[in-house]
Structure 1
């Protein structure tokens, strides 16, 4: 999409969705923050806070495995680790882990190709992300989910809230899109654990036996970690 109307020009903080959002906001933003609350960005925050490094991998197939092996990164299944945040709370310091995700990892890899600064943000580290950013404009990319593995974009509650938490912490002149996300966050800021448990994505994880992942993701402001993409790898 080349129409400059969609750049949200003139605003310090901007919010957009998905892969097209990366392409649009990267044209005029100095920083992109990738927000995939359930669960990629939350997992990256926890892994990096443990002294780990994370390679975002677009594919959960032999292509992703080959990319991880070539980089020397451990894959989920090589140890007790998965994409789930709860599997990473005891990650050994220095672990180099590949995390495949069709949402957050894919957007991170795409954002890396634009040349802008790329950070991984979530509810846990929203204040820390805002504090670390020294230049703008800032584009916050809500990852969203997919209907099926390759279906249409499904905007989701948790990423709207994560984007809003970061927008609120940043302040400045917010675009209407960023203001809407901020308003959603402020409306539910005192009830985040319940909201994440009751939203569609949270229910899916809980039904799959992973309520702890939802609880970890809902903890606003508990992390001081700022994962930054350096040469294609998230590190502190």
Structure 2
């Protein structure tokens, strides 16, 4: 029941969603709009690659993993240089391998990679492109959308569904349902919710808790970048633990 059997397009939240959808889906789309998936989209659009690290930036293992992979470790959001902040990646040189720590999107990416399926990073920016690629990759198997959400707690805690990821999932569900209308109620209603505010995305994201948090630390441009609907044709694909085009 919790795997939404019988539907081609499925949607479930967070780590638990990956565990439920992973065994049956042919493709999973990880959605972490503010900011992992948006950052990955921009990096891949620039010709870069992203090594997702399921760690917080302050974790000393992040530097070790980046060095082992020959990657450049992203800085913390409030520091200069390339970081999880999407706006910091707008001039990323092509060919750069960026190690990107993220407790949400990167963690889900790592979990999804453990299943026999194809993994994409999806966002509002690349909803159509990712949907088209996921349908092709899944073949006759279902496509799962996994909005990351947040966690109640500094390190861990129960899932807190987030508005931005619900809208990102809805944008992708809208595109997927245009290819195959046999979607679960969860996927269909996410699409309905997205379409209801599609004309006011910058304002809606800015007013959401995560958007207000980023604006409060001077990252209002990140929120605006995340709200750009279908501006990107990139479909970041996870191969060998690295997202690329």
TM-score, normalised to structure 2's length? 0.92
Measured against aligned partners, the alpha-carbon deviations of 1:183-213 in whole angstroms (never above 9, x if no partner) come to 1101111111110000111011111111000
Aligned to 2:153: 148
RMSD, matched Cα: 1.2
Q: Note the 1:53-202 alignment, pairs <5 A.
A: 53-60=49-56, 61-77=59-75, 80-133=81-134, 134=136, 135=139, 136-149=141-154, 150-171=156-177, 172=180, 173-202=182-211
Unaligned runs of 5+ in 1: none
Matches of 2:218 and 2:158, distance apart in 1: 26
Matches of 2:116 and 2:52, distance apart in 1: 16
The residue matched to 2:116 in structure 1 has which SS?
A: coil
Moved beyond 3 Å, runs of 4+: none
Matches of 2:228 and 2:72, distance apart in 1: 27
Assess if the C-alpha contact under 8 Å between 2:29 and 2:144 holds in 1.
yes
TM-score, normalised to structure 1's length? 0.96
1:38–1:77: structure 2 CA closer, same or farther, 3 Å change rule?
closer
Aligned to 1:214: 223
The residue matched to 2:146 in structure 1 has which SS?
A: strand
What is the Cα deviation at residue 131 of structure 1? 1.7
Matches of 2:116 and 2:97, distance apart in 1: 23
